[in-house]
Every structure is written in structure tokens, then in C-alpha cells.
Amino acid sequence: MITLESLTNKITKRISDYVEFDVQEIFNQSDYITIYGGAVRDSIANLDIHDVDILCMSDSAHKLRQYIENEQGYELLDLYDQDSLNMYKGISQILEPWTFMNKNRRIIQIIRPSGYIQNTYQKDLDSAYIDSYTKLLKNVDISACGVFIELKDKIMLKESCKNAILHCLSKTFEINKWSSLYNSERTTFREYKLGNRGWVSLSSYIDTKNFLLTNRSLKLNNLEFQPEYDYKIWTEDEYKHNVPANDSIDLSDVFFL
């Protein structure tokens, strides 16, 4: 039986192994720390992690930076390669990421929303910043990237895009052109990279009834997502499009590798 809890445990172990320290320590540094995107996606899909992106508010970003530099031996770098430059090129919603690498070339990136530097009255700065933080999680341009873990009473796996967890399990994705982060050049580059790693774009197969049959050999009958907690924070746009009335996931037509 695959549950949210078992997936969460798998993700935390894989990310801990990658960064070479207990992922719990990341969350222990402050509030408003979220590990999201590629590392979570690839952990669910049983792929190698290439880097770990961590979304932080300003105060938590500084505290986490001190911890990974002083306690874990990571060093601050400039954006380290062309992929990173392409990944964050032209995104006004974030400040330039802080990129860190340790002696074993493990990569951690701290992402900070830019909402708090907009023209906002002082009394509204905090709420504007929190709103910017949440919008970054919700407005992913590729569905399978809409997965994240955060610490509440315990570390929780959640999805910020409709069916994101299911897409990670089946190595499929959709392009969200409604997303405020969508940019045709950037998104096409990311789509190309995913395709090279075996991911299938659902958009390419939209008119093919059995698109998931190709290279799929095992049908899922044992995935149970009656949640131990609320794991969905979808956008308003997604709620308008055939959102199911309950928390179960229909796997009748889903195949995965």
C-alpha cells in the first residue's frame, strides 16, 4: 500500500541522503521553509536528485544559509551552470537564488520570493510577502513540479497542482500555460530536459485514448490517498476544472513504469 506517509518517508530519506545531513534540520531552522520542485518530484519518481530547491521567507533564508554554511560546510556560489540560468531567467516573482555546493558537489538552492520589495504600504509588507510565497508554490508551469514537503506537526508531502503526485508516480506531466511562471522559452527548455529523462508530456497525447499504455507495464491498484492530512493547495484556476468532490484518486486508467 502506497500512502502519503510512506511517500513522505521515502522523500525525506532520499533528500537527506543527497544533502548528506538529516532533512529535518532544514525545517528546524525557522518557519516558512518548504522543499519543493525537482528533488521531491524525482524522489517520488525514483530518479536521481540533481539539486534541492528550498523556498524560504527572508528571515528563514538567512538562518538556513548560516546553518548550511557554518554547520554543513556548503559554500555560496554564483549560479553554477547554464541550466540554472535558464531555469530562473526572467522570473520577476523571485530574487536571484542563493546557490550552495559542498565538497561532494551536492547543490542546495535557497529561493526567496520578491513580493516584499514591491510598492506596498509597510503594514501590508508581511501579508504581501506571504502571499508571494504561496503563489510561487501554486503557480508551477509543469504539473509534476507541483509537489513539496513542509513541516507542520510532522513533515508532510503536499501537492500544489492538481494530480501532481500522481503525475510523479507515472512520470507524466502537463504544461500549465495559465501559470504566472509560464514562459514559453523557459518551459520548453524544462520540458525537453524531462523528456530526455523518460517523462511523457500528457499534452502531446491529449487526443490518444491509451496514451499511458506506451512503455507502461504495471497497473496501480494499491495506491491509497485517503489523506492523513489535507495534501492539496490547488490554485483557483484548477478548482474551476472538474475538481472531484472527495479526496480519493481515480486510478482506473493510470499506468506507470
Contact, 257 vs 34, CB < 8 A? Answer: no
Report the candidate in 127, 149, 118 with the shortest Cα–Cα distance to residue 4.
149
Residue 67 grid coordinates: 546553518
Domain count, the chain: 1
pLDDT for residue 251: 41
Contact, 165 vs 247, CB < 8 A? Answer: no
Pairwise CA distance, residues 236 & 176, whole Å: 13
pLDDT for residue 154: 92
Cα separations in angstroms, 177 against 85, 121, 151, 166, 217? 21, 31, 30, 20, 31
- Contacts of residue 212, defined as CB under 8 A and 6 or more positions apart, other chains included, come to 170, 172, 200, 205, 253, 254, 255, 256
Pairwise CA distance, residues 176 & 173, whole Å: 9
Cα separations in angstroms, 12 against 8, 16, 106, 128, 190? 6, 6, 16, 30, 24
pLDDT for residue 182: 87
**Amino acid of residue 234:** W
pLDDT for residue 58: 85
pLDDT for residue 68: 98
Q: Could you list the residue range(s) of the whole structural domain that residue 16 is in?
A: 4-256
CATH of the domain at 229: 3.30.460.10
pLDDT for residue 126: 66
pLDDT for residue 153: 87
The total number of residues written for the chain in this structure: 257
pLDDT for residue 227: 62
DSSP letter at 120 equals: -
pLDDT for residue 215: 40
pLDDT for residue 254: 42
Q: Extract the residue ranges of the chain whose pLDDT is less than 70.
A: 79-92, 115-126, 204-228, 241-257
pLDDT for residue 131: 81
Pairwise CA distance, residues 58 & 217, whole Å: 46
What is this structure's pTM?
0.83
Pairwise CA distance, residues 244 & 239, whole Å: 9
pLDDT for residue 244: 47
Alpha helices in 98-235 (DSSP H): 125-138, 164-170, 184-196
pLDDT for residue 214: 41
